[in-house]
A and B are shown apart, each in its own frame.
Chain A
C-alpha cells in the first residue's frame, strides 16, 4: 500500500531528475517523450489506486523525515485520487502535445520539462500530503513553478511582467494559508490534518485565512486579475495551469476544509457568494476579449465560480457537482487551450480580429475545438452538460433559486463568448494576410493529446456514471458526506427523483437528433463562408466589415458600469503607488538625517531605549 501511495509522485520526480541529468544529451523531442513517459507512469500509479479508493479505503505511508518532527506522510483518499488523476491524466495529454510543440524551441527545454513535471508533482504532493506544513510547501512549489513557467520567455517584457503579477498576487495570499496552519499547530501540536484535534481547533478565522489563499490560487473575485496576464506563457503551460495543476489547488483546499471542520451555514454562504460573483465577473470580462487566450483565461475565472458554487451549496449533491465540474473543466479547458496553441502556432497570432476561416485549414483542430466548446457551453452529450445539470439540481434542491438564476445568466454569457471565439477563429473567410501563409494542421502527437481530452469530454458526458461512481463518489464520501445518489446516462440522477430530468434530457436529445436529421435531409453540408458573429441577427451586406471587436465595443458600452466596478486592478495599483510614494518620502526625510549623523542618531536611539527600559 505504501508503495502505491507514493508511486505517482515518485514517477514524476524521477522524470524531473532524468530531465535535469540528461538535459544536455537529449534532444528537445526526446526530453518531451521522457516527460510524457513520466506523466504516464504517474497516471498508471493513480489508476492502480482506483480499486482501493473506490472500495472506501485510504492509502497511507510515511517516508523520509523532511524536517525535525515533520516526516513526509502521505494520505490518499477519494478527494486526493480525483486530483491526482486530473494532474497526471490531463498533464500527460498536455505533455504529449508538448513533444512537437516545444520541438523547435531554441533554448530552455530542459528547464521547461523539469518545471512542468515539478508542477504536476507539486499538485500530487499537495493533495496526498497528510501533513499541513508539507501541503503548504507543495502549495508554494506549485506557485513557483507557475511563476517560472509563465516567465519562461523571460526576455520578453510581457512574459516577465505577467510572471511578476502571478508571483505577487498568488504568493502573498499564500501567507494566509501558512498563518492558518501554524496557528492550528500552536493550538493542537500537530500538523496532521487527519488528527481529530484539528477539527476541534478549526475556527472561522482559520477558515477565512485558508479561503483567502484558495481564492488567489483559484482566481476568485477580487483576486483573479493575475490570470489574464499569465497568458504570455507557452500554451501548454496555460493549459496545465488552467485545467489541472494550479487553479485547482484552491478548489482542493476548499473541498478539503470539509474534512477539517463541520461547516456552519455562514461558511457556505461566503463560498456561494464568492462563486456567484466570480462566475458573473469572469463571463462579463470574457465577452469583451479579443485575444483568444485572454478570453479563455476569463472563461476559467467564470468556470471556477461554478465549481466554488457547487462546493458552497454544501450538500452531498452540491459537492458532487463541484467536483464533477472541476474534473470536467480540466478536460474541456485543457482542450480549448491546446487548440488555441495550434492556432497560434499556425498563424502566429491570437488576435480574434485577425483570424477567421481556419476550419478549412485546420479541420481536425476545429472539430476538437467544437467538442470542447460544446462542453463548456453545456451542450447535452458532453461532460459540461452533466456538470451544469448536477449543479443546477443541487442548487434547486438546496432552495438556492437565486444561485440558479445567476448560473443561468453566466451560462448565457459563456455561450456568447465561446461562439464569438469559435466563429472568429474557425469560420468566415480566411483573412488576406493568412491566404499566402502556409498553415499546417497540428502534428499527430498534438492531435492525439487534444483528441483524447475532447474524447473524454464526450465519454463522461454520455456515461458520467463511470467517473462519478469510481472517482467522484469516493471523493465526496471522503469529505464526510453520506451521498447515496447515483448518476445515470447523460448525467440524469437515477431513481424516481430523476424521472423528470430523464424525460427532459431525452426530449432535448431527441430534439437535437431530429434537428440534425432534418438539416441533413434538407441540404447537404457544404463549406461556405458564414457571417461574422454579432450576438444577434445576421448583418446586412453593408455591415460585413464588422468583426469581433465591434461586438466587443457594443458589449463594453452596454455593461460599462459593471466593468468599472468589477476590475480591482486600479485599486491595487493605487495602493502600490501610494506605498511607493510614502516610503520614498520617508526615505528622503530620514536617511540624510540619520545616516549623515550616525553617532548622534545612535546616541538618541540609545537614550530612547534606556528611557523605555526604565519606564517599563
Chain B
C-alpha cells in the first residue's frame, strides 16, 4: 500500500457544502420516514449507519479511507432497498448490489493503476485505468449505458431509500469524480470525446426514456440519469465554471430530488398505491405534496429563481466554453425534453380536477419538512452566495 493515492488528501473546499446539504437531507428523510414508515427498525439502523459513513467519509478528505467509507455507505443503501421486503425490492436490491460490486472493483482497479494518484501510468495501463474508471463511475452514477439498476430500484424501493441513493450516495460519487478531475485530469482530458458522448447520451437517453414512462418514480429515476449527464459534462469541462457547475448542480439535484420523491412518496402512502400518469388532480387532495413536486421539478430543470439555476447556468456556460454553440444548444434541447415530461407529470397527475373524494389533511411534520425544503430551494436560488463561495 505504498501508493500515495491511498493516503489521505486534502479536504476540498466544496466538501463542507456537500456535508451540510447531506445533513439537511438526512434530517428531511428522517422526518419524512417518521410520518410515513419506509421500512422496519432495521431500516432506521441502516439509515443511521449510512449517515455515519457518509459524514465520516466527507470529513476525511480525499483518499482511500474516504472511498472505503463512501463505498460502504453505498452497500448499506443496497441493504435498505432489500429491506422493503417485497420480491421486486429484493430483486432490485440484488441487481443494485451486484452492479455496485462491479463498480467498486472497477474504480478500485482504476485508481490502483494510477501510480501517485495523479500521473498517468504508461501505455497501455493508462487506457485500462481510464476504461475501468469510466465503467466504475458510469455504474455508480447510473450513466447511459450503465443505468440498468436505477429504474428498478426507484420503482421498488421505499421513496426515501431512493432519495438516499440518488441524492446522497450518487452525489458523494460526483464529489469523488470531481476530486479525481482535480487530482488526475488526464483521465478526462485523455478521452474527452468518450466522456462527452456519455454525458450527452445520459442527457438525451435519460430525458427521452423519462418521457416514455407512465410510473412517476421510474420517470424520476430517468430524470436522475438525465441530470447526471449535465454533471458529468461539468466535471469534464474541468476546474472553473465546469466543476463549480457540476458541484452546484449536484447540490441542487439533491434538494430537488428529495422534494420530488418526498411528494410522490407522501401521495402514494396516502392513496395506497403507486402514482402514474393515470392519476388525476392530486394537488387538490394533497396540496403541499403538489406544491413540493412543482418546486422540485422547477429545481431539477434549473429554472430561476430556484437553486437549480445556479448550477445549470454554470453547466450551460461550461458547455458553451467547451463545445461552443452546438453543445449549448444540444443541452438546451435535452432540457427542453425534460420540461416536456415534467410539465406532463405536473398537469396530468397534480393539477386539474380531482377525480375522487378528498383525503384527510397531510401529516403536519412531513408538510413542514417539505415546506422548509421548498423555501430553501427558492431562497438559495435568490441568495446563492451562502453556498457558491465554497465551490471551486
Partners in one complex: yes
Within 8 A of B (CB), among A579-616: 579-580, 583-584, 586-587, 590-591, 594-595, 598-599, 601-602, 605-606, 608-610, 612-614, 616
Cβ of A168 under 8 Å from chain B: yes
Q: Is the CB of B193 within 8 A of A616?
A: yes
> Which of the 9-residue segments A62-70, A320-328, A421-429 touches chain B?
A62-70
Which A residue's beta carbon lies closest to that of B329?
A179
Chain A: number of interface residues, binned into ranges: 35 or more
Main secondary structure of the interface of A (DSSP, over half): helix
Q: Is the CB of B339 within 8 A of A167?
A: yes
Q: How many Å lie between the Cα of A349 and that of B113 in the bound state?
A: 75
Q: How many Å lie between the Cα of A438 and that of B298 in the bound state?
A: 44
Main secondary structure of the interface of B (DSSP, over half): helix
Cβ of B83 under 8 Å from chain A: no
Given contacts A178-B316, A179-B320, A586-B208, contact A609 B131 (CB under 8 A): yes
Cβ of B40 under 8 Å from chain A: no
> Which of the 9-residue segments A90-98, A156-164, A384-392 touches chain B?
A156-164
Cβ of B112 under 8 Å from chain A: no
Contact of A136 among B194, B304, B340, B391 (CB under 8 A): B304
Within 8 A of B (CB), among A167-195: 167-168, 171-172, 175-176, 178-179, 182-183, 185-186
Within 8 A of B (CB), among A94-153: 133, 136-137, 140-141, 144, 151
Cβ of A267 under 8 Å from chain B: no
Q: Is the CB of A182 within 8 A of B320?
A: yes
Q: Is the CB of B320 within 8 A of A583?
A: no
Q: Is the CB of A613 within 8 A of B353?
A: no
> Which of the 9-residue segments B65-73, B158-166, B178-186, B209-217 touches chain A?
B209-217
Given contacts A182-B316, A586-B208, contact A154 B95 (CB under 8 A): no
Contact of B152 among A66, A595, A609 (CB under 8 A): A595
> Which of the 9-residue segments B138-146, B167-175, B227-235, B262-270 touches chain A?
B138-146
> Smallest Cβ distance from A578 to chain B, in angstroms?
12
Q: Is the CB of B131 within 8 A of A156?
A: no
Contact of B146 among A155, A160, A602, A612 (CB under 8 A): A602
Q: Is the CB of B388 within 8 A of A154?
A: no
Q: Please, which residues of chain B bring their CB within 8 A of the CB of A133?
A: 313
Q: Please, which residues of chain A bring their CB within 8 A of the CB of B340?
A: 168, 576, 579
Cβ of B305 under 8 Å from chain A: yes
Q: Is the CB of A155 within 8 A of B131?
A: no
Q: Is the CB of A186 within 8 A of B320?
A: yes
Q: Is the CB of A172 within 8 A of B127?
A: no
Cβ of A205 under 8 Å from chain B: yes
Q: Please, which residues of chain A bring their CB within 8 A of the CB of B95?
A: 598
Cβ of B246 under 8 Å from chain A: no
Q: How many Å lie between the Cα of A482 and that of B385 in the bound state?
A: 42
> Smallest Cβ distance from B289 to chain A, in angstroms?
14
Q: How many Å lie between the Cα of A606 and that of B194 in the bound state?
A: 12
Cβ of B151 under 8 Å from chain A: yes
Within 8 A of B (CB), among A505-562: none
Q: How many Å lie between the Cα of A300 and that of B138 in the bound state?
A: 50
Within 8 A of A (CB), among B325-350: 325, 328-329, 332, 335-336, 339-340, 343-344, 346-347
Within 8 A of A (CB), among B301-323: 303-305, 309-310, 313, 316-317, 319-321
Contact of A160 among B213, B332, B351 (CB under 8 A): B351
Q: Is the CB of A68 within 8 A of B388?
A: yes
> Smallest Cβ distance from B129 to chain A, in angstroms?
10
Q: Is the CB of A175 within 8 A of B332?
A: yes
Most chain A CB within 10 A, of B194, B209, B343, B385, is at: B343
Interface 1/0 per residue, B16-44 and A, CB below 8 Å: 00000000000000000000000000000
Cβ of B293 under 8 Å from chain A: no
Q: Please, which residues of chain A bring their CB within 8 A of the CB of B373?
A: none
Chain B: number of interface residues, binned into ranges: 35 or more
Most chain A CB within 10 A, of B139, B148, B151, B213, is at: B148
Contact of B212 among A65, A584, A614, A616 (CB under 8 A): A584
Q: How many Å lie between the Cα of A167 and that of B310 in the bound state?
A: 20
Q: Is the CB of B209 within 8 A of A587?
A: yes
Which B residue's beta carbon lies closest to that of A595?
B148
Cβ of B85 under 8 Å from chain A: no
Interface 1/0 per residue, B61-85 and A, CB below 8 Å: 0000000000000000000000000
Given contacts A141-B305, A155-B284, A609-B194, contact A172 B212 (CB under 8 A): no
Contact of A144 among B148, B191, B298 (CB under 8 A): B298
Q: How many Å lie between the Cα of A616 and that of B340 in the bound state?
A: 36
Q: Is the CB of B303 within 8 A of A140?
A: yes
Q: Please, which residues of chain B bring their CB within 8 A of the CB of A612?
A: 194
Q: Please, which residues of chain A bring their CB within 8 A of the CB of B346?
A: 164
Q: Is the CB of B328 within 8 A of A182?
A: yes
Q: How many Å lie between the Cα of A65 and that of B385 in the bound state?
A: 8
Cβ of B300 under 8 Å from chain A: no
Q: Please, which residues of chain A bring their CB within 8 A of the CB of B98?
A: 598-599
> Smallest Cβ distance from B259 to chain A, in angstroms?
16
Q: Is the CB of A154 within 8 A of B283?
A: yes
Most chain B CB within 10 A, of A140, A595, A599, is at: A595
Q: Is the CB of B347 within 8 A of A160?
A: yes
Q: Is the CB of A171 within 8 A of B317?
A: no
Q: How many Å lie between the Cα of A276 and that of B332 in the bound state?
A: 29
Given contacts A598-B149, A601-B148, contact A179 B213 (CB under 8 A): no
Q: How many Å lie between the Cα of A182 and that of B335 in the bound state?
A: 16
Q: Please, which residues of chain A bring their CB within 8 A of the CB of B389?
A: 68
Q: How many Å lie between the Cα of A447 and that of B326 in the bound state?
A: 53
Q: How many Å lie between the Cα of A374 and that of B154 in the bound state?
A: 60
Q: Please, which residues of chain A bring their CB within 8 A of the CB of B138?
A: 605, 609
Q: Is the CB of B148 within 8 A of A598?
A: yes
Given contacts A154-B283, A183-B320, A584-B212, contact A178 B354 (CB under 8 A): no
Q: Is the CB of A137 within 8 A of B343?
A: no
Q: How many Å lie between the Cα of A84 and that of B384 in the bound state?
A: 27
Q: How many Å lie between the Cα of A586 and that of B205 in the bound state?
A: 10
Contact of B347 among A163, A179, A606 (CB under 8 A): A163
Interface 1/0 per residue, B218-236 and A, CB below 8 Å: 0000000000000000000
Contact of A583 among B212, B305, B325 (CB under 8 A): B212
Q: Is the CB of A167 within 8 A of B351?
A: no
Given contacts A587-B212, A602-B146, A612-B194, contact A164 B388 (CB under 8 A): no
Given contacts A136-B304, A584-B212, contact A605 B339 (CB under 8 A): no
Given contacts A167-B343, A605-B135, 9 further A-B contacts (CB under 8 A): A66-B383, A67-B388, A164-B343, A179-B329, A182-B317, A183-B328, A598-B95, A601-B148, A605-B146
Question: Could you list some 20 contacts between A and B, CB below 8 A?
Answer: A66-B384, A67-B388, A68-B385, A68-B388, A136-B304, A156-B352, A161-B352, A182-B320, A183-B320, A186-B317, A586-B212, A595-B148, A595-B152, A602-B135, A602-B148, A606-B131, A609-B135, A613-B194, A614-B127, A616-B191
Which 9 pairs from chain A and chain B are nearest by CB?
A: A587-B212, A175-B332, A605-B145, A160-B351, A598-B148, A583-B212, A137-B304, A164-B347, A186-B320
Q: Tell me the B residues contacting A by CB distance below 8 Å.
A: 95, 98-99, 102, 127, 130-131, 134-135, 138-139, 145-146, 148-149, 151-152, 191, 193-194, 208-209, 211-213, 244, 281, 283-284, 298, 303-305, 309-310, 313, 316-317, 319-321, 324-325, 328-329, 332, 335-336, 339-340, 343-344, 346-347, 351-354, 383-385, 388-389, 391
